[in-house]
Structure 1
Amino acid sequence: MVINMIQIALVGIVVVLMAIIFKNSKSEYALYISLAGCILIFYLGVGKLEIIISTIKKIQTYINLNENYISILIKIIGITYIAEFSSNICKDCGHTAVANQIELVGKLTILATGMPILLALLDTINQFLTA
């Protein structure tokens, strides 16, 4: 796991250095290099998602959780990553307003996706209060 993080850090540093070199002469290449680096880092880091998903499923064996809630949590993790990834790319390109809108819509999507969990929690609290 540590070696993977070292690889990711080295790829990031090399990508940034290459983008800096190309930024002065061919600025459009700097953007392409950054995008390629981001995709490569995503590919190297996607294994971490497997660890998270397996841990969530293991937690589910300890406590009786509805599978819909696990599915919602996994969707929220995906939404978070996609929103952060695309927002950072927009910021790197100098489009902060677009990046902020992506972040806002990401947060709203997470909130909307998590509503069934909130409703179930409120229902459980209501059952305790009325019992």
Structure 2
Amino acid sequence: MYLLLNEVSSKYAKCFSLVLLTYFFMMALQLLSSIIGQITNVFLDFNIGQQYVTIIIRLIGIVYYAEFVSFLLAETSLGNVGKMFEYIVKLYLIGYSLPMIIKLFELILSVV
């Protein structure tokens, strides 16, 4: 189908590819949301605070969004901007996950 559209017009082929890519990411988001629901149930069964579950869900969403934007930037020949965006997101993720890291160290120290 892509090759046929590419022969007709490359503009339509790119549009078709973008629609397929959007559909793929939409299906992946639905799968990801069901996985997040299952992970949330596991965390709540272990009496982990709701704020940490919220942080985990937000971190997963940020990573998903960053991968999508980075892929689109790479496809539009803006790979350097995509790499810079990835670095900024990684720094943000480290800062945003600090409460969880501190809680993990507190848990390890309480066990030891």
Query: What TM-score range do you get, normalising by the shorter chain?
Result: 0.7 to 0.9
Please name the residue that 2:20 is paired with. Answer: 37
Matches within 5 A, 1:1-131: 18=2, 20-23=3-6, 26-127=9-110
Offset at residue 58 of structure 1 (A):
1.9
Offset at residue 38 of structure 1 (A):
1.6
CA RMSD of aligned residues (A): 2.3
Structure 2 gap ranges (5+): none
| Bigger mean CA offset, 87-96 vs 52-61 | 52-61
Offset at residue 22 of structure 1 (A):
4.7
Instruction: For residues 75-107 of structure 1, give each alpha carbon's deviation from its aligned partner in whole angstroms, at most 9, with x where no partner exists.
Output: 111111111111111111221101111211221
Aligned residues with identical type, % of pairs: 26
Read off the aligned partner of 1:102 and give its amino acid letter.
F
Offset at residue 46 of structure 1 (A):
2.4
CA contact (8 A) 1:87 1:102 kept: yes
SS at match of 1:65: coil
Task: Provide the aligned length of Structure 1 versus Structure 2.
Answer: 112
Instruction: For residues 49-79 of structure 1, give each alpha carbon's deviation from its aligned partner in whole angstroms, at most 9, with x where no partner exists.
Output: 2321221122124311011111111111111
Q: Tell me the TM-score normalized by structure 2.
A: 0.80
